[in-house]
Structure 1
Amino acid sequence: MECSTFSKYSWLDFAFAVIGVCTFLFDVGSDLWVAKEFYVDGDFFWFGVLVCFMVLSSVVVQMFSWFWYKYDRELQGFQTAGENVLLCSDGRCKLYCWLHVLQLGFFFRHISAIKEGFQVWWRGKRGSEYAVYMTHDLSMLRLIETFCESAPQLTLMLYIMLRTNRARTMQYVSVAASTSSVAWMVVDYHRSLRSFLPDKAQQGWGSSVLYFLWNLLLIAPRVGAVALFASVLPAYIAAHFLSLWPALVLWAWRQETNFMDSAGGEWLYRATVGLIWYFSWFNVTEGRTRGRSTIYHSLMVSDCTILLLTWWWYRDPDLTQSYAGGLVLALPLAYLVGLLLKGLYYTCSHPKLYSQSSQAGEDVPDTQEPRQFHSLQTAVSSPLWNKRMAGHAQYFYSAASPRPLVSSTNRNKSTSALSEREQTYL
């Protein structure tokens, strides 16, 4: 089933897969070490909070992985072709279920991707599309894992350092692990989206570097503001999150997200999007991206300003004298630079794509000459085209939103329903 519309699996794809699993293992190892240190030192409250973050993020990631496994089993021709890769045979379904129950499904996907990628890249085995398919899923799962665990854990470590006015080695390690996880996720996710472009061979590293920088400069001040607020009013940080997160979930629902293949899965996705939006912007639907992004950043600027002013009012002047002024100036300045770099990215480095079914007058975030989503349109009939990430690439790169060609109400009933669902993404 090799075809020209699929990205060929290269040594760089294999390197990203290996680095991804190494980053994952390093992150898990550092989490366990920090948890052990908290327990040994008698800090049982922080031990419990950290373990809750780890368990919650693991459960969410395993749920997404299991949902996708169930969806993929319904694709025509996928079970037979991918049997040795994703355990799609009926006899192995129970084994794969237990792997997810034991919180090992995500790790197994990493190992499967490395195994298949090595056979494709080094041994020249046919099946590049299977390796690419798994790579795209892993990129999305890493994104979810990062914002469910790494970003909250980074906030927690900064809060503890600010609250106690000291830092231990394990805290530095945890901050480094969480920061590297966020940084790697940003580059890996951007690269995964760009692999859907018809001119993938022409893309350079400059675009990814710029994408990484503006995301880092927008995420870091947000995490810092939340940590500073928590350091002076720890009892109110949960109330702050619970007052903002439901509104963000409701906003995702109002945007009519269409990422999962079931109602339960879609609400899980919306809840996760709300958590991601608590820290960073993440486009989830097609249409007027610039307007939604402006609303989001206006909300974040207002919220971060309130958090910083609250911290400034309640802080201990003696303990914070050495860094208070610098933080109050640095965090807003970093966010402003991040917004400027984001505008530069969309102006100079963000390719815009259009569909022949696009409506005139839609919002166009870029100034470059548009390209057609040619490779997506020609591969729509293949069961090994990763529609989940293709949909996000469509939202991220489209210059104008195309009209849905059909509407599918039940995507798993038959092959025709699956075909209709693929067309709605494109």
Structure 2
Amino acid sequence: MMKFTKQDFIFLVGGIIIYVVDIGVDFWVASKYFCQGQYSWSILILSFRGLSSLITQVFSYEWFKNDWEGTDTGKLKWIFLVHLFQCGIFIRYWFALKYGCQAAFKQNSGGDASETDPPNFIQKQVIDVVTDINMLRVFKTFLETTPQLFVQIYILMEHSKNNFCQYAAIFMSFCGISISTVDYQVSLRKSLPDKDEFHVLSKLVYLFYKLFTITSWILSISLITLLSVRTSVILLIFLWICGFTWTLKQHTTFCKSMKMEYLYRTVVGIILIFTFFNIKGRKTNYCISIYYATHTVVTLGILLVYMFWKPSVIKGIDFIIVSILTVLSLVLGIIFLAVYYRRFHPTAYCRPQACSDEVDGEAEQKDRVKTSRFQNFIMQ
């Protein structure tokens, strides 16, 4: 297991600041739309915020219950109350700051201690806590930040009224997507012993791969929505059904209860609308090729429809700019995707999960859930 360093602690503090600022920007944007009489946009922005907050609080509380199983029930009641008021993430950040400060500043880095020694124990504590936070941030990114980014870009295309409020929201959305995807990969490498260290260059390549492919897809969906909101909704629902069905066939085992497992699969289905994730940690060259080939075909099809149909909902110069950005983002995203999997993707995967009908496999799976929840989470 890799160390939690001072640099990691600084990034943790930065993540807290961005999280708080993001909340403020959401309410600021919603209030601006409300004051302008655009109540539907205001409600939509707040709905994404409320839905993502509710789901992340549910997962956070369930993880606390699993981790504190057999401990004082009074603590769990207090934790439940905090999550009921949608503040569970701040409890997790408090634990992360507490353990992170001890691991990064108050411990000697020398020596090869065993896993039971206090230094390694603190290191494992802080990495586990930060990993849980990054899991929740991935949920938040694709339940709230990415849909909000899509809405903001659609509003700019439809009304062509640019203001600082909208640009601030779009900027915060891009920051949220970028930081959460990179932090997710960093946590993955730190949590799993058979993963290589995530160096600066590999972080940048991975960041650009995700950012460009997501940007291209969001622009494409925005163009569809300009043509027909109903068609856009039908497409998104169809994509979610495909993603949800794929998670069912993968037989994910992330949660202890089946209710939470189905909620998890529902969330993963939403994530798969916007980007590809390998939910079982297995080699998926075939699946990822089909995924992005489909996105490429749909994106090019949308641009061809606009090129030949020339609908009046978008001006010629606007279409040229949007189409160039869409194609450029798609090409760059595919290039960074190929470079990442060719040069920077870890060749060592997690231990293959045994079949569920083997007794030893079941016991081993339970041990993995207890020791590292991240081993059953979505992996890239």
TM-score range, shorter chain: 0.7 to 0.9
Matches within 5 A, 1:207-218: 207-218=202-213
What's the offset of the Cα at 1:135? 0.6
Give the counterpart of 1:178 among 164, 173, 180: 173
- What residue number does 1:402 align with? none
Stretches of structure 1 that go unaligned for 5 or more consecutive residues are: 1-5, 80-87, 360-379, 397-426
> TM-score, normalised on structure 2?
0.86
- What residue number does 1:273 align with? 268
The answer to which of 37-46 and 109-118 deviates more is: 109-118
What's the offset of the Cα at 1:59? 0.8
Cα gap change, 1:307/1:15 in structure 2, threshold over 3 Å: closer, same or farther? Answer: same
What's the offset of the Cα at 1:70? 1.9
Cα gap change, 1:7/1:328 in structure 2, threshold over 3 Å: closer, same or farther? Answer: same
Stretches of structure 2 that go unaligned for 5 or more consecutive residues are: 108-117, 355-365
- What residue number does 1:107 align with? 90
What's the offset of the Cα at 1:325? 2.3
Matched, 1:8 2:3: yes
Q: Which is richer in helix?
A: 2
Give the counterpart of 2:72 among 89, 93, 101: 89
- What residue number does 2:258 align with? 263
Cα gap change, 1:384/1:169 in structure 2, threshold over 3 Å: closer, same or farther? Answer: same
CA contact under 8 A between 2:202 and 2:344: conserved in structure 1?
yes
- What residue number does 1:421 align with? none
What's the offset of the Cα at 1:241? 1.6
- What residue number does 1:229 align with? 224
What's the offset of the Cα at 1:201? 8.4
- What residue number does 1:385 align with? 371
- What residue number does 2:298 align with? 303
- What residue number does 2:330 align with? 335
Matched, 1:187 2:170: no
Cα gap change, 1:235/1:258 in structure 2, threshold over 3 Å: closer, same or farther? Answer: same
The answer to which of 213-222 and 229-238 deviates more is: 229-238
What's the offset of the Cα at 1:73? 2.4
Matched, 1:204 2:199: yes
Cα gap change, 1:306/1:56 in structure 2, threshold over 3 Å: closer, same or farther? Answer: farther
- What residue number does 1:50 align with? 45
CA contact under 8 A between 1:133 and 1:385: conserved in structure 2?
no
For residue 110 of structure 1, what is the amino acid of its counterpart?
Y
Identity over aligned pairs, percent: 27
For residue 385 of structure 1, what is the amino acid of its counterpart?
T
CA contact under 8 A between 1:232 and 1:311: conserved in structure 2?
no
CA contact under 8 A between 2:196 and 2:346: conserved in structure 1?
no
CA contact under 8 A between 1:284 and 1:392: conserved in structure 2?
yes
What's the offset of the Cα at 1:327? 2.6
CA distance, structure 2, for counterparts of residue 9 and residue 355 of structure 1: 21
Local SS of the residue matching 1:69: helix
- What residue number does 1:61 align with? 56
Cα gap change, 1:259/1:355 in structure 2, threshold over 3 Å: closer, same or farther? Answer: closer
Give the counterpart of 2:348 among 350, 353, 357: 353
CA contact under 8 A between 2:189 and 2:196: conserved in structure 1?
no
CA-based RMSD of the aligned residues comes to: 2.6
| Count of residues in Structure 1 that have an aligned counterpart in Structure 2 | 357
- What residue number does 1:406 align with? none
Question: Alpha-carbon deviations, 1:289-330, whole Å to 9, x = none?
Answer: 11111221122223333443445536327x522231243243
Question: Alpha-carbon deviations, 1:209-267, whole Å to 9, x = none?
Answer: 11111111111000111112212323433222222212221111112122212111111
For residue 44 of structure 1, what is the amino acid of its counterpart?
Y
CA distance, structure 2, for counterparts of residue 154 and residue 200 of structure 1: 32
CA distance, structure 1, for counterparts of residue 52 and residue 80 of structure 2: 18
Cα gap change, 1:134/1:247 in structure 2, threshold over 3 Å: closer, same or farther? Answer: same
What's the offset of the Cα at 1:343? 1.4
CA contact under 8 A between 1:222 and 1:304: conserved in structure 2?
yes
> TM-score, normalised on structure 1?
0.77
For residue 94 of structure 2, what is the amino acid of its counterpart?
I
Cα gap change, 1:95/1:123 in structure 2, threshold over 3 Å: closer, same or farther? Answer: same
